[in-house]
Structure 1
Amino acid sequence: MTTTEPPAESPVESPAAELFADWDWEDPEGLEARTDAFTGDLARCATIELVRPEVPHTHQDFRELGVTGIEFAAFRTRHPQGLGTDLVGLHTEAGAGVGTDAVAATRPGPVYRIDGSSLYTRLDITQPLPFADHSVDWVYAEHLIEHVPLGTAVAWLAEVRRVLRPGGLLRLTTPDLAKYITGYLDDREQFFRRHRRRLRTMRVGPPMPERRAFMLNQIFYHFGHRWIYDEAELRYVLDRAGYGAFTVVRREFQTGARPDVADLDTAFRKDESIYLEAVAPDAAPGGPH
């Protein structure tokens, strides 16, 4: 799932409206094809330009590319020194693009420039990251970790720990189970009402059912979610991934140790999200000082 901003147009007027004809919120498995098509629409871009035939490996490679960190689950990172990555590839309309470096679709391996600005590479987080130890200053992942099983999350976080430089920062955001439980117990249902409005703004399906039990269940069974976290569960997976020497701090929306990284938080997710940062010790054991 990507972290793009919601489009401004309404669901009725959007190109994705045809996907809603047989949309049934009570059939999560039946929605997979429609959500895949929705993601495919988000993965369309105007131009794709080949920048580098392979991903940067060492810290020096990243510096030469002008990159300081990686944003996972991002088709187009908004960080001026970021490298966006996602499992889903990006593509243009047939025949789009000009010049010898223009391509129609991304593939795993190279680094691309998307729409003349954002750098992007295609990665699968179920595989080891193709980067050297201590190669990046920061890693950001908004609403990614809930899309993979717990064991996969631990393995990916261990890889992130490996590639972070001494003093480096990991910032995680994910739906907060505690907020959903509190929302379920709130007689006024303020949280659930905001969540339903937000999904309409994002053009994700017709209005959701207003039943409390449905609103609690959908966070587990929709959108490809595999594991939902509260703060204690996030700290648990970080501990299993070897972050014992890191300083782990809960943060608020767009507030953190690095303002440039915290600014990547998107506003339409702030009501449901938990924000956690892990900062590496200044000197990695056996590593550079």
Structure 2
Amino acid sequence: MFLVKLNFSNTKLDLRRSIFGYSKVQRIVSALIRNRIVFANRKKKGCYLDLGCGQNVSPDFCNLDYGWHPGTDICWDVTRGLPFPEGYVSGIFSEHMLEHIPFADALKLLAECRRILRKGGTLRLVVPDGELYLSQYCKHQGGNRACMPNADSDKTYFAIVTPIVSVNRIFRFYGHQFIWDYETLRLALYRAGFENVEKRTFGEGADVQLLRDTPSRSVESLYVEAS
């Protein structure tokens, strides 16, 4: 039996707030329903999938994430495959999720994305751009002015702020497991069975339904589509 004890001693309670709005409750719900197909709302065949939606859920998508939040349709560990039949979804959007799983698991996940994507459908991936960070670092080493993405956030974590600090932040913080560049992601997508891979930009792509890019992430992101 799954026994839990809710401790709200350090939590400011608000009677106007739903109990499911508290992160402690969300973590418990996640543990109870994760990878249980009976709790998975896969919506109808032909739906669009947001893979790693976080709290950015949309009623126009099937929202899948490792952690449950109000509006999450499927609470799932993607390293264990995706709970859809072959050719089930019309398109897949995934923003800043792929970097959170180990490289070998990411390769398997991309193959799973190809399996569940209908013929002619598009996978849109948005990840931190490792090449961007490293090229700016090399620019700095060459004596030129570098512009490290989100460098202001380094002050939150580090007493000293330099370009190599920014590189360490994006490679080692936030639970990141592997940071991609376009060359590596392109080869991984071909290996997964995709036939067409293209580098895209913020807010631009083959399927307008998949253009859910977060503006604040555009300065550091790599946008890639595969079909």
Match of residue 275 from structure 1: 223
Does 2:77 align with 1:141?
no
Work out the CA distance in 1 between the residues paired with 2:215 and 2:200: 15
Q: Return the letter of the residue paired with 2:224.
A: L
Higher RCO structure (Cα 8 Å, ≥6 apart):
1
1:247 aligns with 2:226: no
The answer on whether the counterparts of 2:40 and 2:73 sit within 8 Å (CA) in structure 1 is: no
- 1:55 corresponds to: 40
> Is the aligned partner of 1:161 residue 2:143?
no
Contact 2:171 2:178 in 1 (8 A): yes
1:189 and 2:146 correspond = yes
2:48 aligned residue: 69
Per the alignment, do residues 85 and 205 of structure 1 end up closer, same or farther by CA in structure 2, a change over 3 Å counting? farther
- Residue 205 of structure 2 is aligned with which of 249, 256, 261? 256
Instruction: Give the match for residue 179 of structure 1.
Output: 132
Q: Are the structure 2 counterparts of residues 268 and 134 from structure 1 closer, same or farther at C-alpha, using a change threshold of 3 Å?
A: same
TM-score, normalised with respect to structure 1: 0.60
Q: Which has the higher helix share?
A: 2
* 1:77 to partner: Cα distance: 4.1
Asked whether the 8 Å contact 1:56–1:131 carries over to 2, the reply is: no
Matched, 1:211 2:162: yes
- Residue number in structure 1 paired with 2:32: none
Does the CA-based 8 Å contact 2:202-2:218 persist in structure 1?
yes
Name the % identity: 30
Q: Deviations over 1:241-280 (max 9, x none)?
A: 222xx21111000100111211x1101110111100012x
Q: d(CA) in 2 for partners of 1:80 and 1:242? A: 29
Alpha-carbon offset, residue 71 of structure 1: 0.6
Which amino acid in structure 2 is aligned with residue 209 of structure 1?
I
| Structure 2 unmatched runs, 5+ | 1-10, 12-22, 28-36
CA shift digits 1:53-92 (9 cap, x unpaired): 54356xxx515xxx711111113445442011111233xx
**Matched ranges for 1:28-43 at <5 A:** 40=23
| CA displacement, residues 214-238 of structure 1 (integer Å, 9 cap, x when unaligned) | 1112221111111111110001211
The unaligned stretches of length 5 or more in structure 1 are 1-14, 16-39, 45-51, 91-113, 280-289
Q: What is the CA RMSD across the aligned residues, in angstroms?
A: 2.9
SS at match of 2:204: coil
TM-score scaled by structure 2?
Answer: 0.75
